[in-house]
Amino acid sequence: MRVVAVPNLKDNYAYLVIEGARAAVVDPGEAAPIEQALAREGVTLGAIWLTHHHADHVGGVAALVAKRPGIEVVAHAHDRERAPHVTNAVEHEATVELDGLRATIIYNPGHTLGAISYWISGSDGAVFTGDTMFGAGCGRLFEGTAAAMHASLSRLASLPETTRVYFGHEYTASNLRFAAAVEPNNPAIAARASALREPSTPSTVADERATNPFVRVGEPAVIAAARARGASDDPVSVLAAIRAWKDSFK
């Protein structure tokens, strides 16, 4: 398996997940960069995997499908009518396959009610998280709740620590600035920030466990920062408080 990050729109990432001569594309926000990447990599498109219905993640689907009638388009069942051209509406722990690739669906609502990740296990493991888990951050709670996001991030953070995390936006630098405000004495955050290069994708599950404040809601420093903003020690309350803080953080 090879993964090729494809920048598109302002700060989005789509991904070609390549096995042999074919690829699945994750979250094509626009079609032209995907077509260019397919040609550059010398592969054909065999499937479209969507993490959620937002336009910046699905905007290229119609044009890609128009050139490839009948291509599989995967989304969560909740997004069956909200994402375009869906042919395979999946639930948690379903699997999708393309040639030798097999990805397990992880249902992770919070950002949206139909958000999913695609996890490819093994020594070359990877997870495509859309706008649920970012590098050192998480998505805004547009449709879901803090409780749902906490459960979703906990599920992703429980994957093997070497799993590569391919996220939907290049927000890592600003997320690390916020993480440093939450945990100013965390050396892992400082080290990650000093070594940061763009593109910052992928990170790893180990990186997120060490530096992502939305994953680290059980850590004393994160709890203390949240309590200063009215939270209790409960992890959902902590996440809600720091998510609200992040929404207005400059």
Given the residues 53, 76, 150, 169, the one annotated as active site: 169
Given the residues 53, 76, 79, 131, the one annotated as active site: 131
Given the residues 54, 76, 78, 150, the one annotated as active site: 54
- Order across the sheet with 44-49: list the strands: 2-8, 12-19, 22-26, 44-49, 72-76, 88-90
| 53 catalytic per annotation | no
* β-strand pairing of 2-8 with 12-19: antiparallel
| 56 catalytic per annotation | yes
Given the residues 53, 78, 111, 150, the one annotated as active site: 111
CA dihedral 15, 105, 203, 7 (to 10 degrees): 20
| 76 catalytic per annotation | no
Given the residues 56, 85, 92, 234, the one annotated as active site: 56
Contact 131, 54 (CB under 8 A): yes
Contact 131, 168 (CB under 8 A): yes
Structure tokens at 189: 């955050």
Tell me which residue of 102, 172, 162 sits closest to 133, measured CA to CA.
172
| 131 catalytic per annotation | yes
Query: What sign for the dihedral angle of Cα 81, 84, 86, 90?
Result: negative
Given the residues 57, 76, 78, 150, the one annotated as active site: 57
Given the residues 52, 53, 76, 150, the one annotated as active site: 52
- Catalytic residue set: 52, 54, 56-57, 111, 131, 169
